[in-house]
């Protein structure tokens, strides 16, 4: 239900995209340095999810600015690695972009064997699209709902309290590992193939708690079907001002967010990079896109290619340390 309603909402938002204001913006930005042919944005996840829908909404607006067709091509698998590896092999002419993700560009290179690209060197960063907290949740039947009580429960029942995530090596799994390291508790990780199955088992009582994406959890939180206990950025998301962060709940410095941004293959010409980044920033600032990002809990959108490149480097180092310190293995 969440995916269907989310997709329908995105479809309705697409109906009013080709506005005169967009056409004027395209003319003002000039034709030089724009992509010279149809553009595809490659997404490393299945159609219908938050990353996919956002790529389609942004892509439609970019198509107006660039006076060309922008399509989304889904290449799911290996937490985004398949899509990222594909893009590294494409011509650096701006016609193939990737919606890079924390999984493909920070976690997977540290966790998975055989990742053939270096996220810091083999791509051309364009613009950060958004940073979204993950969320610690439980069902309404769960009586233990505060961080101190959860830690106490884990210590009373070592190795028996279960936490679900959307998969081994996901940002949500690593958020759990960071929590477990800081809390110094022994708890059980239960991986799922995405948020849908996770929420079913959470509501059914098969798992005690879950670390889920804020995008997936929010509709259920609003319906009262899921309880939001904490979020995983250092500051509360504007869309969930009453949900405390892990950092303010006794885990200082715990910052385990998901993020996504547009990149191209390595070697894109500087004028093309500048033009595309400026246009992406223009799209991200549009009221309907800003509203959509806010619904996701996504913040810090936009900025220069240089800023995004530095962010990727810092995230790569941070998650590599978490994987090492927690002893996380892809086959665990």
The secondary structure of the chain, three-state, reads CHHHHHHHHHHHHHCCCCCHHHHHHHHHHCCCCCCCCCEEEEECCCCCCHHHHHHHHHHHHHHHHHCCCEEEEECCCHHHHHHHHHHHCCCCCCCEEEEEEHHHHHHHHHHCCCCCCCCCCCEEEEEEEEEECEEEEECCCCCCCCHHHHHHHHHHCCCCCEEEECCCCCHHHHHHHHHHHHHCCCCEEEECCCHHHHHHHHHHCCCCEEEEEHHHHHHHHHCCCCEEEEECCCCCCCCCCCCCECHHHCCCCCCCCEEEEEEEECCCCHHHHHHHHHHHHHHHCCHHHHHHHHHHCCECCCCCHHHHHHHHHHHHHHHHHHHHHHCCCCCC
Same domain for 43 and 185: no
In this structure, the answer to whether residues 183 and 210 fall within a common structural domain is yes
Q: For residues 55-74, give the mean pLDDT.
A: 95
pLDDT above 90 covers a percentage of the chain that reads: 72
Residue 314 lies in a domain: yes
Ranges 33-42, 179-188, 195-204, 249-258, most confident: 179-188
Residues facing 94 on adjacent strands? none
Query: Where does the pLDDT of residue 9 fall: very low under 50, low under 70, confident under 90, or very high at 90 and above?
Result: very low
- Residue 285 shares a structural domain with residue 240: no
Same domain, 124 and 157: no
The whole-number pLDDT of residue 86 equals 98
Query: In the numeric block, which tokens belong to residue 298?
Result: 């996504």
Residues 122 and 177 in one domain: no
Based on the domain organization, do 118 and 262 belong to the same domain?
A: yes
User: Mean pLDDT, the chain, as a whole number?
Assistant: 88
Residue in 324, 312, 331 with CA at minimum distance from that of residue 177 = 324
At 3 the pLDDT is 38
Indicate whether 20 pLDDT > 50: no
| Residue 13 confidence (pLDDT) | 41
Say if residue 25's pLDDT is above 50: no
> How much is the pLDDT for 32?
55
Is residue 330, in this structure, part of any structural domain at all?
Answer: no
Q: Domain check: are 38 and 113 in the same one?
A: yes
**Confidence (pLDDT) at 17:** 41
Burial of 170 by CB count in 10 Å (0-12 exposed, 13-18 middle, 19+ buried)? buried
Do 139 and 218 belong together in one domain?
A: yes
Residues 218, 84 share a domain: no
54 in any annotated domain: yes
Task: Please tell me whether residues 118 and 149 are part of one structural domain.
Answer: no
Residue 329 lies in a domain: no
Tell whether 313 is covered by a domain: yes
Q: Are residues 138 and 249 in the same domain?
A: yes
Please report, for the domain that includes residue 20, its CATH number: 3.40.190.150
Is residue 164 within 8 Å of residue 198, measured between CB atoms?
Answer: yes
Given this model, what pLDDT does residue 21 score?
46
Residue 34 has pLDDT above 90, yes or no: no
pLDDT at 14 over 60: no
> Quick one: tokens of 282?
């223009």
Determine the average pLDDT of the residues in 94-107.
Answer: 96
282 or 49, greater pLDDT:
282
- Could you tell me the residue range of the domain that residue 40 belongs to? 2-132+257-323
**Range with the poorest average pLDDT among 11-25, 223-237, 314-328:** 11-25
pTM (two decimals): 0.81
Instruction: Write down the pLDDT at residue 150.
Output: 97
Domain count, the chain: 2
Q: What is the CATH number of the domain that holds 182?
A: 3.40.190.10
User: Is pLDDT of 255 > 80?
Assistant: yes
Which residues lie below 8 Å from residue 318, measured CB to CB, with a gap of 6+?
106
């Amino acid at each position: 239900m969440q995916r269907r309603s989310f997709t329908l909402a995105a479809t309705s938002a697409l109906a009013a995209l080709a506005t005169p204001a967009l056409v004027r913006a395209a003319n003002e930005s000039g034709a030089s340095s724009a992509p010279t042919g149809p553009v595809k944005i490659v997404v490393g996840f299945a159609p219908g999810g938050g990353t996919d829908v956002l790529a389609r909404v942004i892509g439609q607006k970019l198509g107006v600015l660039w006076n060309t067709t922008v399509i989304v091509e889904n290449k799911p698998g290996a937490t985004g690695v398949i899509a990222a590896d594909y893009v590294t092999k494409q011509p650096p002419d701006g016609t193939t972009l990737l919606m890079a993700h924390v999984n493909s560009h920070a976690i997977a290179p540290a966790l998975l064997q055989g990742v053939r690209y270096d996220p810091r060197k083999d791509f051309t960063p364009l613009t950060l699209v958004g940073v979204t907290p993950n969320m610690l949740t439980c069902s309404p039947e769960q009586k233990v709902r505060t961080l101190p009580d959860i830690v106490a429960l884990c210590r009373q029942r070592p190795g028996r309290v279960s936490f679900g995530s959307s998969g081994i090596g996901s940002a949500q799994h690593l958020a759990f590992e960071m929590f477990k390291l800081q809390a110094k508790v022994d708890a059980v990780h239960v991986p799922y193939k995405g948020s849908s199955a996770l929420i079913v088992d959470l509501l059914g009582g098969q798992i005690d708690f879950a670390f889920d994406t804020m995008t997936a959890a929010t509709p259920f939180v609003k319906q009262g079907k899921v309880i939001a206990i904490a979020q995983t950025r250092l500051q509360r998301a504007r869309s969930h001002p009453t949900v405390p962060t892990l950092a303010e709940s006794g885990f200082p410095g715990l910052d385990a967010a998901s993020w996504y941004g547009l990149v191209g293959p390595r070697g894109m010409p500087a004028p093309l990079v500048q033009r595309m980044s400026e246009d992406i920033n223009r799209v991200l600032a549009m009221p309907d896109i800003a509203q959509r990002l806010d619904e996701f809990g996504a913040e810090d959108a936009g900025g220069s290619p240089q800023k995004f490149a530095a962010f990727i480097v810092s995230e790569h180092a941070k998650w590599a340390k978490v994987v090492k310190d927690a002893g996380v293995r892809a086959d665990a």
